[in-house]
Structure 1
Amino acid sequence: MLDVTLDMEQYDCPFIAASDAHDVSFSAAHWEFDPAGDRLDTRMVVEGSTPAALDAGLRVLRDHEGLRDYDLVSRKGPVAHVRTTIDETTAMATIREYDGYITGPFHIAGGRELWHVGFDRDADADTALSILDNDNEYEVLSRESVDLTELSGFVQNVGAAMTLIEGCRDLSTRERETLEAAVSGGYFDSPRGETLGSLADQFDVSKPAVSKTLRRGQAKTMARITEVLETLDEETE
């Protein structure tokens, strides 16, 4: 199996159009292709930078000629859950024609889409990518061969991966931003880069406040990591 990650801009995709026109992003919660109608059914989480941005992005989505059905399932502030049916895009048709298949969730923001696509044969991948280049702009971010052992391990550990993702979602915005700044700035390195003082200055808070935020964030992520390690130990046994 060949696993290819693409940074794609599709000219005929309603989600691309909406995210290009306004500050909204789409993350696939579920998708299912209808080969009889050449249409894609999706459930998407839509996030806007503001409630107004979300409204504007959803208007573009609803008005797009490629949209066939739309249902606002739920909404809270700048985040919505929508169910849609869209026409098959040119890129989708090309991938399917050469026996390609989606291997992971896709994310759309800033007029571009991150695709994870699988092919059983290198020749099919080469042909599909060559044809995609005629009608779309894309960049191959990675192209890796995955053997059966690696694939089996991935499938078996999907639950563990989701546990880690849920741990990240448990973080508040401030906890996530503080952890990211600490890691990227070398706070956990030896010798240390960022310090509590420099992090406090960066977020315009006191050193005790930034320390408390770091401890909360670490506690949440470590709890999830420990849970995953226990799961992996059970599978090994």
Structure 2
Amino acid sequence: MISVTMDMVQYDCPYIDVTDETDVSFHTMHWDFNTAKQKLETRILVQGDDRGALTNGLGALQEHDRMLEFELLSRRGDTAVIKSFIGQTNAMRTIREHDGYITGPFQIRDGSELWSVGFDTADNTDNALSELEDGNDVRVESRNATSFEEYLDVIQHLGAAKNVIDGCRELSETERDTLTKAVEGGYFQTPRRATLGMLADEFDISKTATSNNLRRAEGKLLERVVSVLPEVDSEDALIGK
């Protein structure tokens, strides 16, 4: 499989138009393309810069001339979940005509959209990207060939990956910033390029406070990593690693 991540501006997509006009972003939670009706059904998380921005964004999307159906499922503060239907866009048609398929959620903000797309062959990939440039503004962020074994490895370890991601979300802003500075500064390298004192100076706090922040961050992440090791080991054994 050829995996392509691209940043794309579609000139016929209502979601992109709305993020270009209002301070909202869209993150797809579920999507399904109905080939018979040529309609894309999506359930989308909508986030506004504030409550007013969300109201403006939802209103603009509902009134867009390419929006076929719109339903507000829930709303809380500056965040909402919607169900919507749009017709097939030029980019969607091009990818489908070259046997491409979506491999990740759409992320739409500031007038452009991040797509994760898969193709079975390099020729399909090249032809699709060439045609996409005719009707859209496309920038390829990454392109990688993924073997069946590598793809299977990712699928089988989704649970373990989510567990580690949840651990990252448990970090406080201070813990996250401290750990990031430590890694970027070379604190964990041998020999160390950054000392505890240098990290403390970065945050203008004592070395003791810096050490505590760092140890809490390490503890939260390592606890998650250790908890998924048995799962990874058992799945590796099943595929003969």
Match runs of 1:32-111 below 5 Å? 32-111=32-111
Amino acid aligned to 1:191: R
Q: Secondary structure at the match of 2:19?
A: helix
Q: Secondary structure at the match of 1:9?
A: strand
1:27 Cα deviation after fit: 1.5
Structure 2 stretches lacking a partner, 5+ long: none
Q: Secondary structure at the match of 2:44?
A: strand
In structure 1, the residue matched to 2:219 is 219
Q: Which whole-Å CA distance do the structure 2 matches of 1:54 and 1:211 have between them?
A: 40
Larger radius of gyration: 2
In structure 2, the residue matched to 1:191 is 193
Q: Secondary structure at the match of 1:104?
A: coil
TM-score (structure 1 length as normaliser): 0.86
Tell me if 1:127 matches 2:127.
yes
8 Å CA contact 1:196–1:211 kept in 2: the answer is no
8 Å CA contact 2:102–2:118 kept in 1: the answer is yes
Amino acid aligned to 2:154: F
1:214 Cα deviation after fit: 4.1
1:185-233 deviation digits (Å, cap 9, x = unpaired): 54545221783433424xxx77666655544443332222222323212
Indicate how the Cα distance of structure 1 residues 147 and 196 shifts in structure 2: closer, same or farther if over 3 A, else same. closer
In structure 2, the residue matched to 1:150 is 150
Indicate how the Cα distance of structure 1 residues 168 and 76 shifts in structure 2: closer, same or farther if over 3 A, else same. farther
Amino acid aligned to 1:144: N
Amino acid aligned to 2:44: M
1:6-61 deviation digits (Å, cap 9, x = unpaired): 11111111221222223322212111111111111111122222222222222222
Q: Which whole-Å CA distance do the structure 2 matches of 1:82 and 1:56 have between them?
A: 14
1:110-132 deviation digits (Å, cap 9, x = unpaired): 21111111111222221111111
Tell me if 1:200 matches 2:218.
no
Amino acid aligned to 1:200: F
Q: Secondary structure at the match of 1:227?
A: helix
1:80-120 deviation digits (Å, cap 9, x = unpaired): 22222122111011101111101122211221111111111
Q: Which whole-Å CA distance do the structure 2 matches of 1:188 and 1:56 have between them?
A: 47
Q: Secondary structure at the match of 1:37?
A: coil
Indicate how the Cα distance of structure 1 residues 145 and 71 shifts in structure 2: closer, same or farther if over 3 A, else same. same
Q: Secondary structure at the match of 2:69?
A: strand
8 Å CA contact 1:199–1:210 kept in 2: the answer is no
Q: Which whole-Å CA distance do the structure 2 matches of 1:149 and 1:80 have between them?
A: 38
Q: Which whole-Å CA distance do the structure 1 matches of 2:208 and 2:21 have between them?
A: 42
8 Å CA contact 1:7–1:112 kept in 2: the answer is yes
What is the percent sequence identity of the aligned residues?
Answer: 45
Superposition RMSD in Å: 2.4
1:156-175 deviation digits (Å, cap 9, x = unpaired): 11222222232333334554
In structure 2, the residue matched to 1:17 is 17
